[in-house]
Amino acid sequence: MKQKNTVYRAPKTVSWLLRFLDTKIAKDSKLLFTITFKLLEKIVIFKSYFFKRKSVLFAGQCYYNCFYLSRALRNRGWKADLLNWDSNENSQIYYHGEDFLFLYDEKYSIYDHLFFYLKSLFIYEIFHFSNAHGISFSSILNVWFKNKQYANFEIFFLKKCGKKIVYSNNACLDGVSKTAFSKWKPFSVCSICKWNEVPEVCSDERNLSWGQYRNTVADFQINLGGNRADFNLDSSVHEVPEFYCLNPDIWDPSLPIPNELQLKDRDEKILLYHGIGNKRLRTSEEGINIHCSHIYFPIVDKIKKDIPNIEIISPSDVPNKKLLFIQSQCDIFLDMLTYGWYGAMAREAMMLGKPVICFIRPEWAESVKAEIPEFIEQLPIVSATQHDVEEKIRDLAKNEKMRKEIGIKSRKFAIKWHGMESGGKRFDEIYSKLMVRKNKEINNGKSLQ
């Protein structure tokens, strides 16, 4: 249940006025709309030039990363807020909070969203978006502006006003064609992906169209894990692991486990954790998914004949804030064996001081190393493929000392590269540089063109 004080509603008088102007006066008048926003553009630029402030709006969730990053930035003097415009109720279990929550429960919710957008133009200088097809303030607001002017008008208007746009990449289909991604060796991930034959989700045309638009509007793009092909080869794309940050005090291995979340006979078992967000959505009827459940479970069944006390668990639909207590009781974490990089589960595991098995694609590691060499040098993940993963699970299961040693390195690595304070420091630098560039552009009249 979301906290009531995060729900955003425009004042009733403002909502009524916006509705009146929309339905009575400007219903069919694109000219009036154009004039109004041209005037608004001049006012916003004037305000930004004479009343500067370090400010960023995270428009959209990305697990809990934006929430903790915004809090770390506040500690560094930034006005940093998080807007949750996700209408999918099932996704809310992955989030840890927000400052503003958009609802879609009323006929006139559009005017709440519109007023927030208009206010944000005067409050924030940087707008940070995340996730493929997620450069948006809300789905209904995007449609409203499209009907008034053209697709994504509200995003291009940010650019006209001199605002800086930051974007966080999140998936294999984010700016890279299916054709290009399927060629990564040694195994084609696309062949086991549920969306391989669903062009509405993933296709060359859809992926590349998004990548082209994304690169057009973004001033700085965040990536992690290589996948440098097609539109991810752009000079605005950078490897920034600090964005994908966690709070070390939340993912703390020393925290006591609530009674209701304690696992039965925990001390007698070697627990393997294999978690998948949106498991049912991502898994085929045959039980195949890119997280490699179809590989891990048969292997663990085989190992169990020699190590009877080994057990694999795969919780689903558990709120993330509770899930971490289950994770904290596990010994080894099993991540993707074919994708080529690690995800949110692995970051959580490392922050909890746990060893992680995951395939790290050599080409991607080299790509990341070219930008941040020490990151790759310190990465403690046990890289494995479907061909040697059984051996590596057995080695870790039999060697408690090895698990502890890797776990200590993992916690240290996670705090350095995925801790919220590291994220705050890194993005203080990134955003500050963008604001300097923004001021120079305004001085040169670029934003007034």
Which residues fall within 8 angstroms of residue 265, CB to CB, at 6 or more apart?
none
Write the CA distances from 347 to 128, 244, 294, 350, 371, integer angstroms.
21, 8, 22, 5, 20
Domain boundary assignment for the chain: 4-168+423-448, 259-418
Task: Give tens-digit pLDDT for 52-74.
Answer: 899 999 999 999 999 999 999 99
For 185-309, list the strands marked E by DSSP. Answer: 220-223, 237-239, 270-273
Q: Across-strand partners of 7?
A: 101
Q: Across-strand partners of 129?
A: 59, 167
In this chain, the answer to whether the domains covering 4-168+423-448 and 259-418 adopt an identical fold is: yes
Q: How many CA atoms lie within 13 A of 87 on its CB side?
A: 14
Please answer whether residues 170 and 133 qualify as being in contact, where contact means their C-beta atoms are separated by less than 8 angstroms. no
Q: What is the mean pLDDT of the chain?
A: 93
Q: Across-strand partners of 167?
A: 129, 221
Q: What is the mean pLDDT of residues 158-162?
A: 96
For 17-101, list the strands marked E by DSSP. Answer: 55-59, 79-84, 100-101
Instruction: Tell me the one-letter amino acid at 272.
Output: L
| Residue 439 confidence (pLDDT) | 63
Task: Give tens-digit pLDDT for 246-256.
Answer: 999 999 999 99
Task: Give tens-digit pLDDT for 266-316.
Answer: 889 999 999 988 787 788 888 899 999 999 999 999 999 999 999 999 998
CB-based burial of residue 317 (10 Å sphere; 0-12 exposed, 13-18 middle, 19+ buried)? exposed
| Residue 25 confidence (pLDDT) | 64
Task: Give tens-digit pLDDT for 10-19.
Answer: 999 999 999 9
Q: CA geometry: angle at 272 spanning 256 and 300, to 5°? A: 160
Please answer whether residues 226 and 238 qualify as being in contact, where contact means their C-beta atoms are separated by less than 8 angstroms. no
Please answer whether residues 103 and 3 qualify as being in contact, where contact means their C-beta atoms are separated by less than 8 angstroms. no
| Residue 226 confidence (pLDDT) | 81
What is the torsional sign of CA 367, 424, 325, 6?
Answer: negative
Q: Is the pLDDT of residue 187 over 50?
A: yes
Which strands form 356-357's sheet, in the order they lie side by side? 310-313, 270-273, 332-334, 356-357
Q: Which residue has 């729900």 as its token pair?
A: 7
| Residue 441 confidence (pLDDT) | 63
Q: Is the pLDDT of residue 30 over 90?
A: no
Which residues fall within 8 angstroms of residue 294, CB to CB, at 6 or more apart?
192, 286, 287, 288
Q: Is the pLDDT of residue 376 over 50?
A: yes
What is the torsional sign of CA 63, 77, 85, 60?
Answer: negative
Res. 1 pLDDT band, cuts 50 70 90: very low
Q: Is the pLDDT of residue 26 over 70?
A: no
Task: Give tens-digit pLDDT for 103-157.
Answer: 998 888 999 999 999 999 999 999 999 999 999 999 999 999 999 999 999 999 9
Whole-number Å distance between alpha carbons of 258 and 262:
6
Q: What is the chain's Cα-based Rg?
A: 23
CATH class of 259-418: alpha beta
Pick the CATH number of 4-168+423-448 from 3.40.50, 3.90.1200, 3.30.470, 3.40.720: 3.40.50
Whole-number Å distance between alpha carbons of 43 and 55:
18
| Residue 286 confidence (pLDDT) | 85
Q: Across-strand partners of 126?
A: 56, 164
